[in-house]
Amino acid sequence: MGEAAVSRTRRPARRVGTALSAALLATALASCTALVPGSPVASGTPGPPPTASAPPTPSGPPPESPRLVPGPPRLSAADAPGLVGRLAATTGPDLAVAVRWAVLPGASALGDRLDERVEQLARDFAAAHGAGWVPAVDVLPGGDIGPCRGASLGTTAGAVLTIDCGIVTAAGPLLGERLTVIRREPGAAASVAREVWYADAATGTVHDGPALYEPGREPRVLGLVAEALRATGRIGIEDPWAGVDPAAARGLLVDSAVTPTGIVVTLPLAGSVVPVSVLVPTRLLQPFLSEAGRSATATAAADEPFAAPAAPAGGDPVDCSFVACVSITFDDGPTGLTPGLLDVLDRTRAPATFFVQGSSVQRNPDTAARIVDSGHEIANHTWGHPDLTKLKDDAAVRREVDRTQAAIREATGVTSRSIRPPYGASDRRVRALVALPFIVWDVDTNDWRDPGADVIVQRAVAESRRGSIVLMHDTHEQTIEAVPSVIAGLRARGFTLATVSAQFGGALPASGLVSHGPR
């Protein structure tokens, strides 16, 4: 599939991979260990951490010849810190789809490629069963608890698609991620397909598993795999892949996992219920590797800790037409409590929208600048917090807004693109005077009454729907205390946090009253 440069903007979903998609269907298995009764996929209960059951990553002295290994490698979350987990789901009367994948922080070519890939698979599956894509929550038990972590769909009537992810390589700037695609149709055995994607965070390149090999040399790689299978009696003297055309050969190598000592190739084998995995030493593969393959194996052999690229905590791209989004918003700051709130948002990589008072920005310009530098959205909440509908002088209304716009611009270098009227109060006259969209809310935590952190959490989490805008204030200690649990609770339901603008694809309505995102 070649390589792609780093992208700084989210592109519309497009078709990704033709030969790969065809090969995946051609190599789909009739069953898989993931569907054994009692497993996470079959039961819908959280499985053990990856390190508890996953085969170890081959390391130590390199093997002299290809050898059979227990299965493909799967690293723990600790081996790839800093990744951003993603979760998308939809349901219908006879349909359930759940997709879990992970991306690098910030905008990246890997994020673009995986977003496009999983969205294509999910939307196509839904369309094939007569359903449109409507993002849903409360589908997977536990929701999003971290990158490539959490429960899978349990036994569900009707057609089911699950896409799960696992990290196979994490060394220096190199990341390798496996997608496992499981399709179940009523009355038929499940089909399973896998593919591995690689990204070099240093160069911004991204490619799939087959791109590790020089085009035309794939049969030689399959020959090395056959050598290990022959040595263990899994096949006879005849090569099961002799005469395979190049496109099919590349399709057989979609699940190629780079390790410090070689590449683990996992592929279906006739007569085997589960796929087989063979570790082929890098030394033997060298003549058959592409430039990308040589770079990946060299980086893995160096065995340096994985280093995710730095990116603002609130700046991760999100497509709210595919995932179920919710916005947490904070009014009346910035205050002395806001830096602590920003610390929480940094730790959890949770974007937020801050509706700031101009007078507070004037007192705390560095905090206002930090809001923007952290990737969050900053917006207008007037200068002195008056009820704009009670200001009979039109010039007074404009002055409240204009002074705040100027203060935000001076402190942060950006121009606010929206306003939240104090108390949510506006009328046609006020909205006609201010050429900005008026953003209110549909979930009010009433945190300003100091009801207790637990009450704030319950209201924010339980009352949210797809597209909700949650009202809180960074002027109350109970709110700051509640925010970590609010974030965790929303993600546990399957929500993705987004700024208010991100809910509208970055383009807010030009004017008018807005109480929630698209639904």
The amino acid occupying position 350 is A
Active-site annotation holder among 144, 255, 316, 331:
331
Active-site annotation holder among 381, 473, 476, 516:
473
Predicted confidence at residue 48, as pLDDT, reads 35
Predicted confidence at residue 74, as pLDDT, reads 93
Predicted confidence at residue 142, as pLDDT, reads 86
In this structure, of 12-16, 85-89, 153-157, the range with the lowest mean pLDDT score is 12-16
The percent of residues above 70 in pLDDT, for the chain, comes to 87
pLDDT at 27 over 60: no
Predicted confidence at residue 238, as pLDDT, reads 86
Q: What is the pLDDT of residues 411-453, one digit of tens each?
A: 999 999 999 999 999 999 999 999 999 999 999 999 999 999 9
Q: What is the pLDDT of residues 377-414, one digit of tens each?
A: 999 999 999 999 999 999 999 999 999 999 999 999 99
Considering only residues 26 and 184, tell me which one the structure prediction assigns the higher pLDDT: 184
> 470: which strand partners?
328, 443
Query: How far is 327 from 47, CA to CA, in rounded Å?
Result: 30
Query: How far is 254 from 197, CA to CA, in rounded Å?
Result: 9
CA atoms within 13 A on the CB side of 279: 23
pLDDT at 94 over 80: yes
* pLDDT band at residue 61 using 50, 70 and 90 as cut-offs: low
Query: How far is 140 from 278, CA to CA, in rounded Å?
Result: 33
Residue partners of 516: CB distance under 8 A and separation at least 6: 441, 442, 465, 467, 468, 469
- 476 catalytic, yes or no? no
Residue partners of 382: CB distance under 8 A and separation at least 6: 357, 358, 388, 400, 401, 404, 419, 421, 422
Q: Which of 86, 246, 109, 265 is nearest to 175 (CA)?
A: 109
Predicted confidence at residue 350, as pLDDT, reads 98
Q: What is the mean pLDDT of residues 468-476?
A: 98
Query: How far is 208 from 18, CA to CA, in rounded Å?
Result: 13
Q: What is the pLDDT of residues 179-218, one digit of tens each?
A: 999 999 999 989 999 999 999 988 889 999 999 999 999 9
Question: Which residue has 């058959």 as its token pair?
Answer: 288
Predicted confidence at residue 15, as pLDDT, reads 37
pLDDT at 28 over 60: no
Phi/psi at 279 (5° precision): -90, 115
| Cβ–Cβ < 8 Å for 332, 475 | yes
Predicted confidence at residue 392, as pLDDT, reads 95
- 103 C-beta neighbours (distance < 10 Å), count: 24
Q: Hey, what are 262's tokens?
A: 């070689």
pLDDT at 39 over 80: no
Query: How far is 334 from 366, CA to CA, in rounded Å?
Result: 10
Q: What is the pLDDT of residues 105-158, one digit of tens each?
A: 999 999 999 999 999 999 999 999 999 999 999 999 888 888 998 877 766 779
Q: Hey, what are 451's tokens?
A: 């009801």
pLDDT at 49 over 70: no
* pLDDT band at residue 30 using 50, 70 and 90 as cut-offs: very low
Q: Which residues of 186-220 are buried (b: 16+ CB within 10 A; e: fewer)?
A: eeeebbbbbbbbbbbbeebbbbbbbbbbbeebbbe
pLDDT at 63 over 80: no
Question: Which residue has 């974030």 as its token pair?
Answer: 487
Q: Which of 103, 214, 88 is nearest to 144 (CA)?
A: 88
Q: What is the pLDDT of residues 207-258, one digit of tens each?
A: 999 999 999 999 999 999 999 999 999 999 888 888 888 889 999 999 999 9
| Cβ–Cβ < 8 Å for 148, 165 | yes
> 163: which strand partners?
99, 181
CA distances from 17 to 21, 24, 144 (A): 6, 10, 27
Q: Which residues of 418-457 are buried (b: 16+ CB within 10 A; e: fewer)?
A: bbbbbebebeeebbebbebbbbbbbbbbebbeeeebebbb
DSSP string computed for 258-318? E-SSEEEEEE--TT-SS-EEEEEEHHHHGGGB-HHHHHHHHHHHHTPPP-PPP--TT----
Phi-psi region of 119 (alpha: psi -120 to 50; beta: other; left: phi over 0): alpha
DSSP string computed for 50-67? HHHHSPPPP-SSPPSS-E
In this structure, of 18-32, 133-147, 416-430, 504-518, the range with the lowest mean pLDDT score is 18-32
- 124 catalytic, yes or no? no
Q: Which of 511, 492, 514 is nearest to 141 (CA)?
A: 492
Find the helix packing angle between 365-373 and 394-412, rounded to 10°: 70
Predicted confidence at residue 58, as pLDDT, reads 58
The amino acid occupying position 180 is T
In this structure, of 89-93, 200-204, 285-289, 448-452, the range with the lowest mean pLDDT score is 200-204
> 331: which strand partners?
355, 473
How far, in whole angstroms, is CA 410 from its chain's centroid?
Answer: 34
Predicted confidence at residue 153, as pLDDT, reads 79
Q: Hey, what are 116's tokens?
A: 């496009």
How far, in whole angstroms, is CA 29 from its chain's centroid?
Answer: 27
Residue partners of 238: CB distance under 8 A and separation at least 6: none
